């Protein structure tokens, strides 16, 4: 299902560069092509952002957690984790927006462990600093990081989504604190702000009580683009009501098509059209000049996984299951049926085990690459084919490219795969606009206070006309 009613020219693929400091493979930092200190190397990220812009990507995105990755109580595994140290994303993107012109910046912020006023403020700032290129990746945080935040306990899954629903409404309301032309800055009259164009939110809800106004003008994009990644029932419904881009994980075409059609079908009941929500699954491309070379590159990566890391990957999914009696060559047992973490990721991995009858070794190898996202090993043409099939067969509007090792895998994709997509007319050769919304083909939202005032005026107009007719 797709809606191209607002689109000029043929539908084209949207591309994001999904970055993890040294690369997405769990052992990427050990690869000789990796920048081992990448997590805290600004020059490294600067080069990546500029590379993505050279490749005409829509956006760059870094995965982030408010509590970090890995288990500090398992020191053997923790000591081998190359993803433990990395920048806070809004700070990073603010810096990199100054050395780029077109690329959009997606930063993660949690609705469970942060305050909506702070979130609204920092993303509005990023949108101003970047000239309208900011996006907020809304997460409810599946991992229990409550010990880092003076919180008594991690919220249950359903409560996290209830909080997120209200949280997003509060943030949007705060972004609308001022109308677009509220700041007159008229030296002659001495009036800086038109008070008639200031709106207090005065929100009173189950989770938040927020007066407003925000202490920054309405963002250049109206709202920074809203991105989500949940695929559970609650996640799909939240996305259908509030998201503009979904970052999702699917391994099989049929699963991707089901997800795509399901979330698009939910939009009309929220007064939205299918083209107002872009679905961008992750893809982990392992390139080679030939199929054999690509497979060899894949095996080189997998050989870097230490046994203790392999078992930690499995234990992360088999919570509460004793694996001590298993070897890696045993068939993977059924996964737990319930979790207070990411329900969609548990289902994805569980389906993978059930569908393919994997051994534990085969399972950890699948997850070590892209954590449940699609892995494609092949030549540039084969990677381009894989992207095109999903795009044209109702599974995706675009893709989050997950380079196995950075910086080389991103450059290889830009130099080898992007030109093929461009030659096929599937991907842009120039940016369409100056803001992330323009490049994604998303409309700029009207200020909600203005929209309500217009609707009230339109509703009152017939009654006023009738009264005037009677008077005449």
Q: What's the pLDDT at 7? A: 53
Tokens of 461: 């107009």
Checking if the pLDDT of 302 tops 80, the result is yes
Q: How high is the pLDDT of residue 315?
A: 87
The pLDDT of residue 4 is 42
Q: Exposed, middle or buried: residue 266 (CB in 10 Å: 0-12, 13-18, 19+)? A: middle
pLDDT of 301 strictly over 50: yes
Binned at pLDDT 50, 70 and 90, residue 175 comes out as: very high
Higher pLDDT, 202 or 78: 202
Residues 6+ positions from 200 with CB-CB distance below 8 Å: 177, 211, 212, 213
Specify the higher pLDDT residue, 7 or 23.
Answer: 23
Cβ count near 212 (within 10 Å): 19
pLDDT confidence of residue 50 = 98
Alpha-helix residue ranges (DSSP H) falling in 277-358: 291-302, 307-317, 343-356
> Can you tell me the distance from the alpha carbon of 39 to that of 84, in angstroms, rounded to the nearest whole number?
8
Answer with the residue of higher pLDDT: 216 or 144.
216
The residue with tokens 């101003």 is 128
359 phi and psi angles, rounded to 5 deg: -80, 165
Mean pLDDT computed over every residue of the chain: 91
Paired tokens of 95: 């810096």
The yes-or-no verdict on residue 2 having pLDDT over 60 is no
What's the predicted TM-score (pTM) here? Answer: 0.90
What local confidence, expressed as pLDDT, does residue 162 receive? 95
What φ, ψ does residue 331 adopt, rounded to 5°? -65, 135
Q: Mind listing the pLDDT tens digit for each residue in 399-435?
A: 999 999 999 999 999 999 999 999 999 999 999 999 9
Cβ atoms 134, 436 nearer than 8 A: yes
Tens of pLDDT, residues 47-102 = 999 999 999 999 999 978 887 656 666 777 777 776 778 899 999 999 999 999 99
Q: Which domains does the chain have, with CATH numbers?
A: 14-306+372-448 (3.20.20.30)
Instruction: Encode pLDDT of 254-299 as tens digits.
Output: 999 999 999 999 999 999 999 999 999 999 999 999 999 999 999 9
CA atoms within 13 A on the CB side of 99: 15
Most distant pair of Cα atoms in the chain: their distance: 91
For residue 355, what pLDDT band results from cuts at 50, 70 and 90? confident
Integer Cα distance of 190 and 209 in angstroms: 33
pLDDT at res. 63: 79
**Between 99 and 454, residue with greater pLDDT:** 99
459 or 178: which carries more pLDDT confidence? 178
> Coil, strand or helix: which one is 105?
strand
Residues 385-397: tens digit of each pLDDT? 999 999 999 999 9
Q: Which long-range contacts (CB under 8 A, 24 or more apart) does 295-302 make?
A: 295/377, 297/377, 298/377, 300/31, 301/25, 301/27, 301/28, 301/31, 301/369, 301/404, 301/405, 302/365, 302/368, 302/369
What is the SS3 assignment for 138? strand
Question: 305 by DSSP, 3-state: which?
Answer: coil
Number of CB atoms found within 10 A of residue 115's CB = 13
């Amino acid at each position: 299902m797709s809606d191209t009613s607002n689109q000029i020219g043929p539908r084209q693929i949207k591309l994001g560069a999904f970055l993890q400091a040294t690369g997405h493979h769990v052992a990427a930092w050990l690869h000789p092509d990796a920048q081992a200190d990448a997590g805290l190397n600004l020059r490294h990220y600067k080069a990546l952002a500029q590379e993505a812009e050279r490749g005409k990507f829509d956006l760059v995105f870094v995965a982030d957690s408010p509590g970090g990755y890995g288990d500090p109580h398992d020191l053997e595994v923790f000591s081998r984790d190359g993803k433990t140290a990395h920048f806070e994303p809004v700070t990073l993107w603010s810096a990199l927006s100054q050395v780029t012109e077109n690329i959009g910046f997606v930063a993660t912020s949690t609705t469970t462990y942060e305050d909506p006023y702070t979130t609204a403020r920092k993303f509005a700032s990023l949108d101003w600093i970047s000239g309208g290129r900011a996006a907020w990746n809304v997460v409810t945080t599946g991992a229990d990081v409550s010990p880092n935040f003076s919180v008594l306990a991690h919220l249950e899954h359903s409560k996290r989504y209830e909080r997120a629903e209200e949280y997003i409404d509060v943030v949007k309301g705060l972004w609308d604190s001022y109308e677009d032309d509220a700041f007159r800055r008229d030296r002659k009259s001495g009036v800086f702000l038109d008070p008639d164009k200031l709106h207090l939110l005065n929100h009173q809800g189950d989770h938040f009580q927020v007066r407003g106004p925000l202490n920054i003008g309405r963002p250049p994009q109206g709202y920074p683009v809203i991105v989500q990644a949940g695929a559970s029932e609650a996640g799909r419904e939240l996305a259908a009501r509030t998201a503009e881009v979904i970052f999702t994980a699917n391994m099989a075409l049929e699963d991707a098509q089901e997800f795509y059609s399901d979330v698009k079908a939910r939009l009309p009941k929220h007064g939205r059209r299918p083209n107002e929500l872009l679905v961008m699954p992750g893809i982990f491309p392992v390139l080679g000049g030939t199929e054999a070379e690509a497979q060899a590159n894949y095996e080189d990566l997998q050989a870097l996984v230490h046994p203790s890391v392999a078992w930690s990957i499995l234990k992360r999914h088999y919570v509460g299951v004793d694996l001590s009696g298993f070897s890696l060559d045993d068939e993977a047992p059924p996964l737990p049926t319930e979790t207070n973490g990411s329900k969609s990721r548990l289902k994805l991995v569980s389906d993978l085990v059930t569908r393919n009858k994997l051994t534990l070794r085969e399972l950890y190898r699948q997850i070590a690459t892209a954590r449940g996202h699609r892995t494609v090993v092949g030549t540039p043409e084969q990677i381009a084919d894989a992207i095109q099939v999903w795009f044209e067969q109702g599974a995706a509007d675009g893709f989050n490219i997950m380079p196995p090792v950075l910086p080389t895998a991103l450059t290889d994709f830009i130099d080898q795969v992007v030109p093929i997509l461009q030659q096929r007319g599937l991907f842009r050769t120039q940016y369409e606009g100056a803001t992330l919304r323009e490049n994604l083909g998303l409309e700029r939202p009207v200020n909600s206070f203005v929209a309500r005032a217009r609707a009230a005026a339109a509703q009152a107009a017939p009654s006023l006309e009738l009264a005037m007719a009677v008077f005449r």
